[in-house]
């Protein structure tokens, strides 16, 4: 098997050295799936699905402004890392169009999380404290629209075919960084509206623990996503 390649530009600093990709299909329209799995301010139930999660707390929420000339037709969430970008600023996004004017705002929810990670073949548990952000375009599915969609079921002609959400975190002591892109895709099977949720993790870990982190990331990532259907 060939080694996974990091996307360009690199989403972590230092560049990623562990990866994981997985997808599941959920039996709900894309707006419903996004309402539960895509909004950072409603993320706690998603975080607590993981067997590793022992504590989750929402912190502040802010916005990052992207130039409309680049977003959404040029640079998208999948092209950037936003955890450390200054709020209400596009200074960290490359500008290729000098005349670009301010456009849609990306909503960014800050959080902190504690995980209990088994070590030494499960003989001990190590508490890992993380801080991070979840970033999404709130204009794609406004809260009022998703509430209406939940009642009406199927989507409509204005329903987007694909939407991205960005999860980023860093561990306090080890510096392990995770950039995770969650992509929602509208699918129709036998006339029924469903949603394919695909996730790609690009992360960095110190060299001495990279192998262990890669193994655990793949295992826990798949186990977590396999439980998404229980939220619907």
Phi and psi at residue 210, to the nearest 5°: -60, -45
Q: How far apart are CA 219 and CA 224, in angstroms?
A: 9
Give me the CATH number covering residue 202: 3.30.530.20
Looking at the domain assignment, is residue 194 inside a domain? yes
Q: Provide the whole-model pTM.
A: 0.83
Structural domains in the chain (count): 1
- Maximum pairwise Cα distance, the chain: 59
The pLDDT value recorded for residue 37 is 97
Cross-strand partners of 171: 130
DSSP of 61-130: EEEEEEETTTTTTSS-GGG---TTSPTT--TTS----TT--EEEEEEEEEEEEEEEEEETTTTEEEEEEE
DSSP of 3-37: PPPPPSS-SSSSPP-EEEEEEEEESS-HHHHHHHH
Looking at the domain assignment, is residue 3 inside a domain? no
Looking at the domain assignment, is residue 1 inside a domain? no
- The residue segments making up the domain with residue 102 are 18-231
Answer whether 42's CB lies under 8 Å from 35's CB. yes
Answer whether 181's CB lies under 8 Å from 164's CB. yes
The DSSP 8-state label assigned to residue 187 in this structure reads E
Residue-by-residue pLDDT tens, the chain, 232 positions: 456 667 777 889 999 999 999 999 999 999 999 999 999 999 999 999 998 999 999 999 999 876 555 555 666 788 888 888 888 744 444 444 444 445 567 999 999 999 988 765 555 678 899 999 999 998 888 764 554 444 454 445 577 899 999 999 999 999 999 999 999 999 998 899 999 999 999 999 999 999 999 999 999 999 999 999 999 9
Looking at the domain assignment, is residue 7 inside a domain? no
Looking at the domain assignment, is residue 5 inside a domain? no
Angle between helix 30-37 and 143-152 (nearest 10)? 130
- Nearest by Cα to 81 from 7, 30, 151, 20: 7
Residues 95-132 as b/e (b if ≥16 CB within 10 A, e otherwise) read eeeeebeeebbbbbbbbebebebeeeeeeeeeebebeb
Looking at the domain assignment, is residue 151 inside a domain? yes
- Nearest by Cα to 117 from 1, 36, 8, 209: 209
Q: Please state whether 173 falls in left (phi above 0), alpha (psi between -120 and 50) or beta.
A: alpha
């Amino acid at each position: 098997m060939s080694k996974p390649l990091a996307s360009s530009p690199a989403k972590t600093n230092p560049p990623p050295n562990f990866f994981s990709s997985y997808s599941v299909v959920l039996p709900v329209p894309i707006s419903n799936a996004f309402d539960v799995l895509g909004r950072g301010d409603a993320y706690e139930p998603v975080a607590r699905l993981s067997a590793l999660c022992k504590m989750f707390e929402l912190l502040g929420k802010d916005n990052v402004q992207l130039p409309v000339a680049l977003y959404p037709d040029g640079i998208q969430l999948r092209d950037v890392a936003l955890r450390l970008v200054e709020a209400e600023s596009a200074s960290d996004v490359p500008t290729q169009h000098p005349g670009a004017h301010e456009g849609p705002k990306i909503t960014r929810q800050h959080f902190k999380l504690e995980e209990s990670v088994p070590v030494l073949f499960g003989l001990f548990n190590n508490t890992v404290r993380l801080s991070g952000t979840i970033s999404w375009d709130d204009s794609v599915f406004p809260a009022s629209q998703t509430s209406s969609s939940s009642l009406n079921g199927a989507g409509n002609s204005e329903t987007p075919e694909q939407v991205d959400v960005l999860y980023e975190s860093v561990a306090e002591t080890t510096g392990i960084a995770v950039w995770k892109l969650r992509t929602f895709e509208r699918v129709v099977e036998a006339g029924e509206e469903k949603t394919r949720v695909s996730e790609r993790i690009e992360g960095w870990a110190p060299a001495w623990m990279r192998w262990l982190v890669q193994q655990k990331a793949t295992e826990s990532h798949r186990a977590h996503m396999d439980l998404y259907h229980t939220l619907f």
